[in-house]
């Protein structure tokens, strides 16, 4: 019985000893670092692989830090100089500097929150000096400013800023609707200007065409009158050859013929109405009036 009890005790001692020996070693994964303290004070940093440390209870692993690149994404509300409210999406990629794991572990309690606070302060202070239109053109300026400030503040604490990405500002719904209305008004104005210009060109072209038409019409009328005069002259010369007919009779006959031609042209027009004498003596009266007019003209000419 005593032998069994001794064996069990020995096994227990070996197990305890084995577990204690294991505390001499520490295994660290790739892209990780573990912080080891000795008697409550920083002792060393163990990197990827198998390492040795002081055993329990003298030495202990108090924390593990990732050496991978991490990303912090925030949407920051800000007010521009022209009183526009926007949200600016910002992404900061950062990592712990391998040579400064101790500072990164001990100096900052909540590094992500502190980085976020600096980003908020930078964005809001710079946005307040710019209009909404200027913000869209200042993305690179924001990125450079954030990266420069964070590196200056956090490099001492063991953090490296790898990259800063600032997306386009997102205006509020009211601002978007207002801009859409302004854009629509501008497009309507341009369309009206284009239509007015087209109408102007049309009117000018029509006026030019009418002027050209009138010019050609005038040339035609002039030529027509020349031909009529030439015909009159020829008719007068022919009639003078007839015995018993003088110049007055010839002119009266020609004018009477022109009178009837005029009546014919008027009759062919649908929009004109004239009143003509319809008595049997009407023709005689007209002939007499034409003859008297020719005689009166000759008398005036003789004077």
Percent over 90 (pLDDT), the chain: 21
Instruction: Write down the domain spans for the chain.
Output: 2-66, 70-171, 181-239, 242-303
Percent over 70 (pLDDT), the chain: 68
Nearest Cα to Cα of residue 94 among 126, 76, 79, 116: 116
Half-sphere exposure of 250 (CA within 13 A, CB side): 17
Query: Sorting pLDDT into bands at 50, 70 and 90, what band is 68?
Result: very high
> What token pair was written down for 52?
């040795």
Q: Cis omega before residue 232 (within 30°)?
A: no
* Rounded CA separation 36/4 (Å): 41
pLDDT tens-digit series, residues 159-210: 999 999 988 888 767 766 766 677 677 777 877 888 888 888 887 887 777 7
CB distance 166 to 73 below 8 Å: no
> What token pair was written down for 79?
């007010």
- Return the number of other C-beta atoms located less than 10 Å from residue 59's C-beta: 19
Q: What is the pLDDT of residue 235?
A: 66
Q: What is the pLDDT of residue 13?
A: 85
Q: Is the per-residue pLDDT at 269 higher than 80? A: no
What is the DSSP-derived secondary structure letter of residue 80?
-
Nearest Cα to Cα of residue 146 among 97, 89, 98: 89
Looking at domain 70-171, which CATH architecture does it have?
2-Layer Sandwich (3.30)
Computed over every residue of the chain, the mean pLDDT equals 79
Task: Give the bridge partners for 79, in sequence order.
Answer: 85
Query: Sorting pLDDT into bands at 50, 70 and 90, what band is 93?
Result: very high
pLDDT tens-digit series, residues 10-26: 888 888 888 888 888 89
């Amino acid at each position: 019985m005593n032998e069994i009890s001794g064996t069990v005790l020995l096994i227990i001692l070996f197990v305890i000893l084995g577990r204690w020996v294991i505390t001499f070693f520490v295994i660290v994964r790739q892209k990780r670092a573990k912080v080891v303290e000795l008697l409550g004070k920083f002792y060393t940093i163990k990197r990827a692989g198998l390492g040795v440390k002081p055993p329990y209870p003298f030495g202990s692993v108090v924390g593990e830090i990732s050496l991978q690149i991490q990303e912090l994404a925030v949407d920051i509300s800000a007010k521009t100089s022209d009183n526009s409210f926007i949200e600016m999406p910002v992404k900061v990629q950062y990592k712990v500097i391998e040579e400064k794991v101790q500072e990164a572990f001990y100096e900052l309690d909540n590094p992500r929150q502190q980085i976020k606070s600096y980003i908020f302060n930078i964005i809001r202070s710079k946005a307040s000096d710019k209009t909404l239109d200027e913000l869209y053109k200042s993305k690179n300026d924001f990125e450079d400013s954030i990266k420069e400030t964070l590196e200056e503040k956090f490099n001492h604490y063991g953090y490296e800023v790898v990259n800063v990405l600032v997306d386009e500002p997102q205006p509020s719904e009211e601002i978007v609707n207002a801009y859409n209305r302004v854009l629509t008004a501008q497009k309507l104005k341009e369309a009206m200007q284009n239509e007015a210009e087209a109408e102007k060109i049309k009117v000018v072209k029509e006026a030019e065409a009418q002027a050209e038409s009138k010019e050609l019409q005038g040339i035609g009328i002039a030529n027509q009158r020349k031909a009529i005069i030439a015909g009159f002259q020829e008719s007068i010369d022919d009639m003078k050859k007839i015995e018993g007919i003088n110049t007055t009779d010839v002119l009266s006959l020609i004018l009477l013929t022109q009178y009837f031609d005029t009546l014919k042209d008027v009759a062919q027009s649908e929009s004109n109405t004239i009143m003509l004498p319809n008595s049997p003596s009407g023709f005689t009266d007209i002939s007499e009036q034409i003859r008297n007019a020719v005689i009166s003209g000759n008398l005036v000419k003789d004077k």
